[in-house]
Amino acid sequence: MMNTPVTKRDFIKTTGCALAVSLSKPLSSMAQSGESHAGSPIIDLHQHTNYSGRSELQLRTHQKAMGVHRTVLLPAGKYYGLAAKCGGNETVYRMTQLYPDDFVFFANEVPDLPMGRETIEKYLKLGAVGIGEQKFELECDSRPLEMVAELAGDYQVPVLIHFQHNAYNTSLHRFHKVLEKFPNTNFIGHAQTWWGNIDRKHDQKVMYPTGPVLTGGITDRLLSDYPNMFGDLSAGSGLNSLKRDEDHTRGFLGRHQDKLLYGSDCNDILGRGPGCQGSETIKTVMELSADKEIRSKIFHRNASRLLKISF
């Protein structure tokens, strides 16, 4: 059979069409490789649009490669990009309108701005299933954060909070007061200070601690003592907390199996390999939890229950 030369234009046209056809399908129908790897469907609690310049097509390709079935998109506030040039409310809302089987979205705004409450409520009315990522320079028990908690309670959606010492939502040791004041609002903890405090002896100045964990840190106690407190395993901080002391992690995953939610929060474009912390987190949970029931809770059942979403 005679071989016909393929021009560069023909190659681009053919591969581009094939990719477009593939990505026109819902991620839930394309995630078989991820399901076989995780042994469970996956809800990714923590992703962003335009993350470090990543395109919408690259985001969808990334999530497909990780085996994710539903993705929660977290917008930035009006004047900040969550320190990562992330897209705002309109971008995440648009993605859910284009791909309703693949994405759900949260609402967000800087809560101490005059239009903060109005903006968040606008997108809650449009179908946001949560508020966040709240990553702004405030005390964690400040009045603006209490406004967010009140609003979340009114709409019965959770609030995802980025805790970072001397930067965002500071004074984690006082957050129990917020949990007690707003018992009908669910909160999801995330980031360096949240995950560092699995250790009772955590040095608050250290963002990515290493070494053995002494059970009973602030985070451990909040998850144990308050039914409205949950944990987002995303980002380098979440992955670090899983890998630093594997013996502790096995007990931690079992102890808090009803409170932990898988998230990626990675900005790579491949969705696999050592450069993708989201896929590394999936792998680590698989390795450190032998119980299929626990894994299914972490990978999708807890998020499905908390966010009231299904496949």
Higher pLDDT, 298 or 3: 298
Q: Residue for token digits 């839930």?
A: 28
Residue 310: partners with Cβ closer than 8 Å, 6 or more residues away = 304
Q: What is the pLDDT of residue 274?
A: 87
163 pLDDT above the threshold of 60: yes
**Paired tokens of 61:** 């390709």
**Paired tokens of 259:** 């409170």
Mean pLDDT of the chain: 90
Confidence of residue 103 (pLDDT cuts 50, 70, 90): very high
Summarize the confidence of residues 227-240 as an average pLDDT: 98
Q: Residue for token digits 């998109």?
A: 73
Summarize the confidence of residues 222-245 as an average pLDDT: 98
- Name the percent of the chain lying above pLDDT 70: 86
**Paired tokens of 63:** 């999530």
pLDDT tens sequence across 194-225: 999 999 999 999 999 999 999 999 999 999 99
Q: What is the pLDDT of residue 26?
A: 60
Q: What is the pLDDT of residue 300?
A: 98
Q: What is the 3-state secondary structure (H, E, C) of the chain?
A: CCCCCCCHHHHHHHHHHHHHHHHCCCHHHHCHHHHHHHCCCCEEEEECCCHHHCCHHHHHHHHHHHCCCEEEECCCCCCCCCCCCCCCHHHHHHHHHHCCCCEEECECCCCCCCCHHHHHHHHHHCCCCCEEEECCCCECCCHHHHHHHHHHHHHCCCEEEECECCCECECHHHHHHHHHHCCCCCEEEECHHHHHCCCCCCCCCCCCCCCCCCCCCHHHHHHHHCCCEEEECCHHHHHHHHHCCHHHHHHHHHHCCCCEECCCCCCCCCCCCCCCHHHHHHHHHHHHCCCHHHHHHHHHHHHHHHHCCCC
Quote the pTM value: 0.89
Summarize the confidence of residues 100-124 as an average pLDDT: 97
pLDDT tens sequence across 30-42: 444 444 366 789 9
Residue 285: partners with Cβ closer than 8 Å, 6 or more residues away = 38, 233, 242, 253, 262, 295, 298, 299
Taking residue 115's Cβ as centre, other Cβ atoms within 10 Å add up to 11
Confidence of residue 19 (pLDDT cuts 50, 70, 90): very low
Confidence of residue 308 (pLDDT cuts 50, 70, 90): very high
Summarize the confidence of residues 162-168 as an average pLDDT: 97
Confidence of residue 1 (pLDDT cuts 50, 70, 90): very low
Q: What is the pLDDT of residue 28?
A: 52
Taking residue 4's Cβ as centre, other Cβ atoms within 10 Å add up to 7
Query: CA quadruple 180, 302, 51, 26: dihedral positive or negative?
Result: negative
Pick the CATH number of 38-307 from 3.40.190.10, 3.30.450.40, 3.90.1150.10, 3.20.20.140: 3.20.20.140
Summarize the confidence of residues 97-123 as an average pLDDT: 97
